[in-house]
Structure 1
Amino acid sequence: MEENTPSSLPEKALNLSTFFCLYIAQAIPMSFFSTAIQVLMRQADYSLSSIALLQLIKLPWILKFLWAPIIDRQCITMKDYKRCIITSEIVYALLILSVGLLDIKTDLYLIIGLVFLSLIASATQDIGTDTLAVLSFGKRDKSLVNSMQSMGSFGGTLIGGGVLLLVLQRYGWQSVMPCLGVFVLLALIPLLSNKRMNIAAKEPAKRAQLTDFIWFFARRSIWKQIGFLLLYYASIIGILSVLRSYMVDLGYSMKEIGLLIGIVGTGAAFVSSFLAGLLVRKIGRYRSRILFAVFILLTTIYFMCISWTEPSLPMLSAGIVLLWSAYGMATIVVYTTAMDCVRKGCEGTDFTIQTVLTHLSGLLMAFLSGVVADRVGYHGLFIFEVVLAFVSLLYIFCFFKKESQPTYS
């Protein structure tokens, strides 16, 4: 099966904008739900332990590798992928609209149940979208479509976790939800109108089996990539996980924290992920791995240095921009190399497994960073993150060579 590469700049731009719309359609509602419901539950005097259980609604995005082989097996042609994405998106929108008909004060648990179902639909759309992205772009342009994925994610966080909270406060739950549902449907327009996007039909012998997510780990050649996925931005995740607490301890208000992290930081990640996609395309995977790993190391060193004293607002702001920029850059290398490591016929399964591994690594790193910070303080934690970033850089030199990445099969 040959990969399809858009033949002209307008066609490539149309395809990239199509994927950006699909990715941001996933991100905005999910970010809004995870943030808004927590705020509303706390305002209604729910316990912190009850609010913590809300994290379980994200389980579909952790477990989506279980049904990714079904998508790989059933979707053969471009028409199949469009049908999968459009159906999932419509179900997603209908569930969001249903949530908008309920009262958050009296129907909270029903709302959480519907949100959980909506994220199953969203995760299914993501599998189809990721697979289509792998198949629609050649190796040279995969970093560009991954820029669209990261920009959609960060843009969705900026809007869903920031702007829409202000809209919610002014207009209320039952006004915001229908708008979200309509937005998800509108995001389908570029895909529906894009007649030029095309992929080669899969070979029958390469169709995925339901157990293919297990055989992903049976290849010896994949383990260096797994180590890379677990290590590459673990140090950045570690700092991000304690950043809000660190700012609270420095005396910043919730409004200031929201502005600096939710707008300045996320905005920096949005821009850096776009620039990183262009850079990966220009200098290649190997040099990008090293360059961004060095940037991550310098960022952790910066936080270690400013933790010796109480940083000023400009110093902390610079650190936040560096941190989120490093995160945005790192996601491009992670997603792009993950696309290089998929087997024919199992593109959705293999890419999904790799993204899930990064999510699990992030959860583990967030927990570990909290434990380390409790024991040795922020300064000790930042030293730990410097060591981890340095180990990640050494790992690249040891396990990856300058030659172009092979296609795993």
Structure 2
Amino acid sequence: MNTRNIQKLFTFFCLYIAQTIPMSFFSTVIPVMMRQDNFSLTSIGLLQLIKLPWVLKFLWSPFIDGSSTTLKDYKRWIFSSELVYAIIIFAVSFLEFKTNFLTILILIIISFVASATQDIATDALAVLSFSRKDKSLANSMQSMGSFGGTLIGSGLLLLLFKHLGWNSLLPYVAVFVIIALIPLYFYKGRSINEKHIRQKARLSDVIYFFTQKRIWRQIVFLIFYYSGLIGTLAMLKPYLVDLGYNMKEIGVMVGILGTFTGFLCSFAGGIIVRKLGRYTSRILFAVCILSSACYFYIISWFTPNIAMLHAGILLLWGSYGMATIVVYTTAMDCVRPGREGTDFTIQTVLTHLSSMLIAISSGKLADHFGYHGLFLFEIILATCSLIYILIAFKRKKDNETGSTRKI
């Protein structure tokens, strides 16, 4: 890989980690502070609504696509949204949590709108900046940015928060968001060939996405590919609590070991997809997901020691890290010229929504059938996903040439 491609990958890694660290920090620290101030569990549960902009971002993604025809246009969207993101974070640092809680909540929701906007523009730019062969490496940067941002935001910053406090720490977070934009400032690429843009993206393109020939094959894949591990991920912490582990031990096992494994395997997944292709990678990673479900089902019948749990966490988060790459890469393959941000956003939202439903269902399954029943259900979902891939996809898809514009 040449120096230019390495610089390009580093640029996107910075953009993705910049949007993730503040989100992860807020999502982790606010529930803790709310509980310390005696907020009800119901109120804390409703806090999940602050992530709503990331679910609804497909509504304004056509506007970003429709107003962007050059590299300069995408840079403008990314710079402006990240500046808003940083300014709001900086403004929140001057507010007292208990006395200005509602104001803080509103500002954070607005900041998440800005972050989601940056994500749309960054995803579209990534689609246009990399060849079909290198798209998996671009998605490694996206996934590594997500895992790395979570590791820093919910781990390192949480530790610093205990020493520095809300008002002292947030300005540094805002400054980091600005610094992460520096590589983009120096990023250069070819201009978009506007002759390939038949018409500007519109809101109706969200509907038309679902009318494309053979697109439902991809949609079903997106909905079910994570299904064999999301339930286990959602119930992993309660499972460890029931095994007698305390919060500090769980934080190390899941928050550090698990997240860091996902970070490393995201990079490995990008290389694997690049070498083996989409079809083989779909199958390989689906087998890994099935293996993790089987592993947890087996150890749920006895009390596993910490080494067994560490092995399961490595397998689970490693499978998750690699699976994200094939999901994002195939999603990039299914975008229409001129609607890159819209189509990619729709597909990622589908994975988020399906994962959310499975995570919610996993709690009810574990309540009624125990962890054995939950992990058995995960095995069934993972098996169905693997069988579907073998039936619905053919190896020849890896040889198709992408038709997206290039920057």
1:255 is aligned to 2:251: no
Alignment partner, residue 64 of structure 1: 57
2:382 — aligned with what? 389
Q: Which residue number corresponds to residue 165 of structure 2?
A: 172
| Alpha-carbon distance between aligned partners in 2 of 1:390 and 1:234, rounded to the nearest angstrom | 10
Whether 2:269 is the aligned partner of 1:283: answer no
**1:361-400 alignment, distance < 5 Å:** 361-400=354-393
Deviation per CA, 1:149-188: give whole Å up to 9, x if none. 0000000000001111110011100111000100000000
Partner of 2:137: 144
Counterpart amino acid of residue 128 in structure 2: L
Matched, 1:200 2:192: yes
Amino acid at match of 1:13: I
2:13 counterpart of 1:13: no
CA distance in 1, matches of 2:375, 2:337: 41
Secondary structure at the aligned position of 1:139 is classed as coil
Q: Structure 1: 5+ residue runs without aligned partners?
A: 1-7
Measure the CA separation in 2 of the matches of 1:32 and 1:374: 30
Structure 2: gaps (5+ residues): none
Distance 2:193 2:71 in 1: 8
1:21-32 → structure 2 map (5 Å cutoff) = 21-32=14-25
Q: 1:168 to 1:185 in 2, by over 3 A?
A: same
Change (3 A) 1:393 1:199: farther
Mean Cα displacement is larger for which, 273-282 or 210-219? Answer: 210-219
Listed one character per residue, the Cα deviations across residues 281-319 of structure 1 (whole Å, up to 9, x for unaligned) are 001000000011111111111001100101100001110
Task: Report how far residue 244 of structure 1 moved.
Answer: 0.6
Number of residues of Structure 1 aligned to a counterpart in Structure 2: 401
Q: How does 1:75-86 map to 2 (within 5 A)?
A: 75-86=68-79
TM-score between the two structures when normalised by the length of structure 1: 0.96
In the alignment, the residues of structure 1 paired with residue 368 and residue 351 of structure 2 have an alpha-carbon distance, to the nearest angstrom, of 25
User: How large is the Cα RMSD of the aligned pairs?
Assistant: 1.1
Q: TM-score, normalised by structure 2?
A: 0.97
Percent of residue pairs identical = 59
Confirm or deny that 1:318 pairs with 2:304.
Answer: no
Q: Distance in 2 between matches of 1:202 and 1:100?
A: 43
| SS class of match (2:98) | coil
| CA-CA distance at 1:142 after TM superposition | 0.1
Contact 1:58 1:119 (8 Å CA) reproduced: yes
1:91 alignment partner, one of 71, 78, 84: 84
1:362-401 deviation per Cα after TM superposition (whole angstroms, max 9, x unaligned): 1000011111111100011101101110000000011001
1:154 is aligned, of 147, 151, 156, to 147
Structure 1 residue identity aligned to 2:69 = I
Secondary structure in 1 aligned to 2:214? helix
- 8 Å CA contact 1:65–1:352 kept in 2: the answer is yes
Q: For residue 96 of structure 2, what is the amino acid of its counterpart?
A: D
| Cα distance in 2, alignment partners of residues 366 and 408 from structure 1 | 35
Following TM superposition, the consecutive aligned residue runs of length 4 or more in structure 1 with deviations greater than 6 angstroms are none
Equivalent AA in structure 2 for residue 86 of structure 1: F
- Residue 220 of structure 1, CA deviation: 3.4
Deviations 1:8-38 (A, max 9, x none): 6100000000000000000000000011001
SS in 2 for 1:210: coil
* 1:110 corresponds to 2:111: no
d(CA) in 1 for partners of 2:190 and 2:293?
43
Are 2:42 and 1:43 aligned?
no
**Structure 2 CA distance, aligned partners of 1:354 and 1:194?**
27
Q: CA deviation at 1:199?
A: 4.2
- In structure 2, what is the Cα distance between the partners aligned to 1:25 and 1:160? 10
1:193 is displaced (CA, Å) by 1.6
CA-to-partner distance for each residue in 1:40-99, whole Å, 9 max, x for gaps?
A: 001111000001111010000000000000000001100000011000010000010011
How far apart, in 1, do the equivalents of 2:190 and 2:124 lie? 13
The equivalent of 1:3 in structure 2 is none
CA distance in structure 1 between the aligned counterparts of 2:192 and 2:110, rounded to whole angstroms: 32
Matches of 1:211 and 1:150, distance apart in 2: 29
Residue 220 of structure 1 aligns to a residue whose secondary structure is coil
Q: Give distance in 2, aligned partners of 1:201 and 1:345.
A: 11
Report the Cα distance in structure 2 between the residues aligned to 1:206 and 1:140, rounded to whole angstroms.
Answer: 27
